[in-house]
Structure 1
């Protein structure tokens, strides 16, 4: 399954308390320092966050953040790109604290995890920290065709609107506005695929998380479009923070990574990375809380 399903579940999560489990083993920071390398997991097909580059390696915002975190720790960075499982909870299990049954071992940390307290409570084998971006829903549309004052997908009624299958955008457009847009929804395997159809004039618009839309527009050099934020009034969580996760019971590593992420944000380096990929930086809503709890 794609990252889409995991993010849909997180965006619909109810905010509750959080918890983290601890164990008695040695802190992993010592191991990382000794080997001189930190291994960080990212999704393998999730532009503009992490994706296979034409050069053969991996590129994307999360990949650059991973390398910058390694620099802050004084070690090199190994990127462990992996395919998403059925849910983000499965990804946390596979890549953070247990490993996959086919033999894939956990990484030292995983990027782009949801920071909802309820999700943290459900995954207490991991420690969540270092929120670095606040995501929200958005949509792009043909500004030349519809004008520059469209503030809702409802204005596109009667025209095809692209969404990635089984995502929050899909769920919203097929259920909101009393189902008025249900027959207008066109499903795609990915946001870039939907954007390519938009570029060809096959769609009036595309709805997806704002970061994915901005990245796709930058990569595909679309023209005659406008990008708007969507308020999912009364039904869903409108925005959510993403951060990183490590195996619980490693307070020194949590503290080091939390401090490194704070330094990247305060120095402006995070914003530079986002700018390089054409995605305006949105500071996490819970940045202060995330930093203060690192290492607990």
Structure 2
């Protein structure tokens, strides 16, 4: 009997050792899980907004880490154009100021056709934002997010000085060719309000105004600030005969998949208004704050 009791004791001790080992292993696993939870909590905390409502860097993603990538059509002065090999214009300066507020390096992609911008932003992966004197419209909001407005604008009709057809009624005639930039609100206005004329969509406003200057087109319809600027700079033979009060507002286009970036841009735009940055950029390009 004593021998049996001794054997039983050995078996019990062995079983206890196994249980103890399993228990320690289980505790080790539990500790690792706790560490993971702590890491996730820290990551989640880092995405919270600061007390003043400004977004932190981890609230959104960018195509390239540490950079904000912009796409635009650089033939729309004074908002965006090429100055030699450099990108220039009001929107370029606004973009760089936004980057400064967000703590990101500006990255500007080569010029594209205006009507390709919204699809590019929508699809993602190539550009984070577009500043392209882009009017906030319901149609665009169905495809992409738009920031709060940063500029007001209207449309205009531009003709050659001395032209006989200068207003909506005289231009709305069969066979009259009206130049517009493809995909713009100027094109949309012309199609709606000049239904009898032939609307000719072009890649950019420079082509449109050059065509009016050479007599190829009877008129062009485009954003008033751009047309006025170009007349002052290069097209002294043209004039604005109709200012169209469309009440448009420009916004920054952002992917709907990146709402945190839209929020951060809105915060940055407000800060730029409050601290005088926007007034300074407006004065640089338009002679005074708007």
Q: Same fold (TM over 0.5)?
A: yes
Show the 5 A alignment for 1:89-100. 89-94=118-123, 98-99=124-125
CA distance in 2 between partners of 1:155 and 1:191 (Å):
22
Distance 1:38-1:166 versus aligned 2 partners, 3 A rule = closer
Secondary structure, counterpart of 2:236 in structure 1: coil
Higher Rg: 2
Q: CA deviation at 1:70?
A: 1.6
Secondary structure, counterpart of 1:43 in structure 2: coil
The match for 1:111 among 108, 131, 144 is: 131
Question: Number of paired residues?
Answer: 233
TM-score by length of 1: 0.59
Distance 1:280-1:162 versus aligned 2 partners, 3 A rule = farther
The match for 2:269 among 261, 266, 270 is: 261
Show the 5 A alignment for 1:221-240. 221-223=235-237, 225-226=239-240, 228-230=242-244, 238-240=246-248
Secondary structure, counterpart of 2:251 in structure 1: strand
The match for 2:70 among 41, 47, 66 is: 41
Tell me, yes or no, if the aligned pair for 1:85 and 1:91 is still in contact at 8 Å.
Answer: no
Match of 2:211 in 1: 197
Query: Is residue 2:73 matched to residue 1:52?
Result: no
Match of 2:102 in 1: 73
Question: What residue ranges of structure 1 are gaps of 5+ in the alignment?
Answer: 1-23, 100-104, 232-237, 283-296
Match of 1:164 in 2: 180
Tell me, yes or no, if the aligned pair for 1:44 and 1:52 is still in contact at 8 Å.
Answer: no
Residue deviations 1:222-258, cap 9 Å, x none? 2462353225xxxxxx343321244557666444321
Query: Is residue 2:226 matched to residue 1:209?
Result: no
Secondary structure, counterpart of 2:150 in structure 1: strand
Tell me, yes or no, if the aligned pair for 2:171 and 2:194 is still in contact at 8 Å.
Answer: no
Secondary structure, counterpart of 2:158 in structure 1: strand
Q: CA deviation at 1:138?
A: 1.0
Distance 1:164-1:214 versus aligned 2 partners, 3 A rule = same
CA distance in 2 between partners of 1:227 and 1:144 (Å):
11
Tell me, yes or no, if the aligned pair for 2:155 and 2:186 is still in contact at 8 Å.
Answer: yes
Tell me, yes or no, if the aligned pair for 2:130 and 2:252 is still in contact at 8 Å.
Answer: yes
Tell me, yes or no, if the aligned pair for 1:47 and 1:215 is still in contact at 8 Å.
Answer: no
Residue deviations 1:153-203, cap 9 Å, x none? 324567965413645545654664662x44xx6665431122223344655
TM-score by length of 2: 0.60
CA distance in 2 between partners of 1:227 and 1:281 (Å):
25
CA distance in 1 between partners of 2:190 and 2:256 (Å):
38
Distance 1:194-1:246 versus aligned 2 partners, 3 A rule = closer
